[in-house]
Amino acid sequence: MKLRLLNLCVLLLLTFYAKSQSELFEKPESRAKKVVKTDPKYKNLRDEQGRRQGYWMRFHPNGNPAYRARFKDDIPVDTLIRYYKNGEKFVEIVFDNNNRLGRARFFSEKGKLIATGFYNNMKKDSIWEFFDERGRLRSRETFENDLQQGLSEIFYDSGTLAAEVLYWEGKKQGLEKQYYPDGSPRVYINYKDGKFDGAYTVYYPDGKHEITGYYKDGKQDSLWIFYDALGREKFSLMYKDGVAVNKDKLDSLQRQEYNLYEQNKERFEDPEKYMNNPDELIRNF
């Protein structure tokens, strides 16, 4: 299968993680250069304290709407809609009667739904789901007070689970499990406060160990063993503070395999870099 380039889904995913209330209502680049007719209810009023009140509408320089919203004491109420410069909807947030909880839907510039989730007081909350432009679920994340908190899942094209891990206050904690497309274990990594810490295991598709090792405070540590497909040890290395202290003892073939591992190890360690195409995780290694 031909590898796909990362598309807008991943870029927008990173945007959503950082999106705040002020960013959702930032001013367009400049006033609209075209003369546009607007509904008279959009008055763009502020009270004596400078707070936005009532219906507001801003425009992009090309005359297309930038956003439509209604405010009460500078807080968005009812429905908020933000647009791309081409006129397509970027985000729509529908608020509840208390104007605290908002159901959000994000779209690509082609009009495809690429994310759904909730805002609580304009901070990301509860479960968010992210899709590619073909409508396939790519990840499911849990937020609290704008930080990832709870279970995070990444999915293959087929919909099967590619990776799962827990977050605490925006940092990975505990065991992260990565899987082959058939559901068998591929990599198990332990985290502490967002850093690798603890046992690390890579598996062959049949379940045999390929690599076993250990991390301490984000650095490779202690004995690492590399196995062939039959489960036999090929070579081992001792690490201290992330450095292999005995790699000079490897023969030429072992050194070649070690160098290959070093070049590709981030494929094992950070599946989020492949969120839009998790299938690429298991290729070319």
Tokens of 247: 């790699």
pLDDT per residue, tens digit, the chain (285 aa), is: 333 333 334 444 445 544 555 556 555 554 555 555 667 888 899 999 999 999 999 999 999 999 999 999 998 899 999 999 999 999 999 998 777 899 999 999 999 999 999 999 889 999 999 999 899 999 999 999 999 999 999 999 999 999 999 999 999 999 999 999 999 999 999 999 999 999 999 999 999 999 999 999 999 999 999 999 999 999 899 999 998 888 887 767 677 777 777 777 766 666 565 555 544 443 333
Cα(285)–Cα(283) distance, integer angstroms:
6
Written as six digits, the tokens of 120 are: 């609580």
Q: Which domains does the chain have, with CATH numbers?
A: 1-135 (3.90.930), 149-285 (3.90.930)
CB atoms closer than 10 angstroms to residue 108: 21
- Two structure tokens written together for 215: 């991390």
Q: Which residue has the tokens 């196995």?
A: 227
Contacts (Cβ under 8 Å, ≥6 apart) of 238? 222, 223, 224, 244, 245, 246
